[in-house]
Amino acid sequence: MDEVAILAVSGKWRHLYFLVPQALRNVGHIPLSSTSALAARTVVRNQDWINNLVLYSAGVQAAPGSAKMHSNLGSQYMAYGKVDLARVEFQTALRIYPDYPDALESYGLLELWMGHTEAAGRMMESALNMSQRDNPNYDYMIVNLAALLIQTGKMDGALELLNREIAESPQYARAWSNRAVIRYKRGEMASATADLEVALRLDPGNTQTQNLKKLLGTAAPAASPK
């Protein structure tokens, strides 16, 4: 059976995603005729990053004792691969406020990105344990940790987290999609397809969901009439 594995931290830094094998990685590639449009989008994206970088850098200068400002600046650096600068900002945020779960989660994702799986797992588990359901990033955190457990072969632990998340937050598509990954890897195709169909209804454009759909050969469910 083809493997599904964690590829990377998303460009928006907040979550992990899975990708299907090499044979499917070229699906949806950008043709040569689109390079001008791609370049234009890259300029816009880079300008957005510069604007955000200026904003958060100014925030750090105005409030150097703010853990949130340092964490936000670290996230901007991380989103564009400025690893050393991101690490400094996350460490600064955690020196100011050691129990800041959002900074610890981001730092954990950075460590995972750098291949430091054990350290990342400790940080991400601690961040989740510090958090309550009222944290806006709680859904990200619990599914990120489940994804890391999937990557390291701890399927039972991942499934327990995902079952809890689905029970508490059934509209969160990534939980259904990640549970479909577990069921796919276990050969439970009917259950994987059922979870995938829910994920597709909740978030039809999700990359991981679309990749799994290709693997399982399922068609996107028809939209219900409104």
Per-residue pLDDT of the chain (226 residues; tens, 9 = 90+): 334 444 344 444 455 544 333 332 332 333 333 333 334 344 444 555 567 888 889 889 999 999 999 999 999 999 888 999 999 999 999 999 999 999 999 999 999 999 999 999 999 999 999 999 999 999 999 999 999 999 999 999 999 999 999 999 999 999 999 999 999 999 999 999 999 999 999 999 888 788 888 888 744 444 343 3
16 - beta bridge partners? 9
Please give the pLDDT value at position 16: 54
The answer to whether the beta carbons of residues 51 and 71 sit under 8 Å apart is no
CA distance 157 to 23: 30
Question: pTM surpassing 0.85?
Answer: no
Q: For residue 102, what are its two tokens?
A: 């959002």
The answer to whether the beta carbons of residues 163 and 182 sit under 8 Å apart is no
CB atoms within 10 A of CB 208: 27
CA distance 141 to 126: 10
- Nearest Cα residue to 90 out of 80, 81, 76: 76
Read off the amino acid at residue 156.
D
Please give the pLDDT value at position 97: 97
Please give the pLDDT value at position 49: 52
CA distance 197 to 190: 11
- Nearest Cα residue to 217 out of 203, 196, 202: 196
CB atoms within 10 A of CB 168: 13
Q: Please, what are the domains in the chain?
A: 5-21+42-216 (1.25.40.10)
Q: Which of the 8 DSSP states describes residue 30? A: P
CA distance 68 to 224: 41
